[in-house]
Amino acid sequence: AQSVTQPDIHITVSEGASLELRCNYSYGATPYLFWYVQSPGQGLQLLLKYFSGDTLVQGIKGFEAEFKRSQSSFNLRKPSVHWSDAAEYFCAVVVDSSYKLIFGSGTRLLVRP
Amino acid sequence: AAGVIQSPRHLIKEKRETATLKCYPIPRHDTVYWYQQGPGQDPQFLISFYEKMQSDKGSIPDRFSAQQFSDYHSELNMSSLELGDSALYFCASSLAAANTGELFFGEGSRLTVL
């Protein structure tokens, strides 16, 4: 079955430090790939998406992600984290024509002052 | 720009009661998805509709039903509520013809079952 894995449940970084959140998917073909962010009690905000083409995609709030087909990965990065980035981050994929999203279990980002 | 509107934003019900959540998609979007997110969980797909017809079904309990109306808004009806139904319910919409798989999410409706 198709799946999305986010191996890190929690990540803590210091403000100003770089960040990388991992995401791996299990699917034969290249799915559509997404990263969403969710602040406590809030909705899901799309950070960035990958459909095809350039494997390095830029998103909002200074985030970027790189699709690596050989590793079935779509890791999210940010060069310098801000305290306001503390939130839950979900990787998600669309794998068929129904376009329903399959979410990973999420990574909670904590930012140290 | 108009976004996905969900109502109510918060709802408190007793066990065995019934609840109805409403979703108004972005204008001209023809597809609606419902997700359930339990505390500390990732969103789980419940059901989707395209052009007022059910298009896919996920882990939706038999006690739940949903439909999409002629104006494309959708309602999720939940009966015989259980404590475990307490969750954040998201609606998302998309335009099928865009063929991008990008879903636009509402702010969610938080259901608390006491």
Right CATH for B5-113 from 3.40.50.620, 2.60.40.10, 3.30.1360.120, 3.10.310.30: 2.60.40.10
The reported pLDDT for the residue numbered A2 is: 64
Residue B113 corresponds to which tokens in the numbers above?
A: 């079952």
**Nearest C-alpha of chain B: how many angstroms from A91?**
10
CA distance readout (Å), A81 to A73, A85, A87, B108: 21, 7, 12, 27
Residues of A in contact with B90 (CB under 8 A): 43-44
CA distance readout (Å), B22 to A53, B44, B89: 37, 18, 10
List Cβ neighbours of B66 (8 Å cut-off, separation of 6 or more): B34, B46, B47, B49, B54, B60, B74, B75, B76, B77
Average confidence (pLDDT) over B1-28: 94
pLDDT digits (tens, 9 = 90+) for B63-102: 999 999 999 999 999 999 999 999 999 999 998 877 777 8
Segments making up each domain of chain B, as ranges: 5-113
**What is the C-alpha separation between A72 and A70, in angstroms, rounded?**
6
Model confidence band, residue B48 (pLDDT cutoffs 50, 70, 90): very high
The reported pLDDT for the residue numbered A100 is: 81
Q: What total of structural domains would you count in chain A? A: 1
Q: If you compute the radius of gyration of chain A from its CA atoms, what whole number of angstroms results?
A: 13
Residue A53 has pLDDT above 90, yes or no: no
**What is the C-alpha separation between A84 and A62, in angstroms, rounded?**
12
Q: What burial letters (b/e) apply to A65-81, b meaning 16+ CB within 10 Å?
A: bbbeeeeebbbbebeeb
The per-residue pLDDT of chain A, averaged, comes to: 91
Q: Chain A contact for B14, CB < 8 A?
A: no
Give the residue from A23, A101, A102 with the most B CB atoms within 10 Å of its CB, the best one to mutate. Answer: A101
Which domain does A84 fall in, by range?
3-112
The per-residue pLDDT of chain B, averaged, comes to: 93
Residues of B in contact with A51 (CB under 8 A): 100-101
Considering only CB atoms, B108 lies closest to which of A43, A101, A104, namely A43
Is the pLDDT higher at A106 or at B95? A106
Is the pLDDT higher at A15 or at A1? A15
The reported pLDDT for the residue numbered A108 is: 96
Model confidence band, residue A96 (pLDDT cutoffs 50, 70, 90): confident
Model confidence band, residue A1 (pLDDT cutoffs 50, 70, 90): low
Residue A97 corresponds to which tokens in the numbers above?
A: 């024509």
- B71 with B5: CB under 8 angstroms? no
Considering only CB atoms, B42 lies closest to which of A42, A43, A90, namely A90
B8 prior amide bond cis, ω within 30: yes
The reported pLDDT for the residue numbered A27 is: 77
Model confidence band, residue B18 (pLDDT cutoffs 50, 70, 90): very high
Give the residue from A100, A102, A107 with the most B CB atoms within 10 Å of its CB, the best one to mutate. Answer: A100
Query: Are B90 and A49 in contact (CB < 8 Å)?
Result: no
The reported pLDDT for the residue numbered A13 is: 97
Q: Which residue of B has its CA nearest to A101?
A: B45
Model confidence band, residue B1 (pLDDT cutoffs 50, 70, 90): low
Residues of A in contact with B56 (CB under 8 A): 98, 100
Q: Which residue of A has its CA nearest to B10?
A: A41
pLDDT digits (tens, 9 = 90+) for B50-71: 999 999 999 899 999 999 999 9
The reported pLDDT for the residue numbered A30 is: 73
**Percent of chain A at pLDDT above 90?**
71
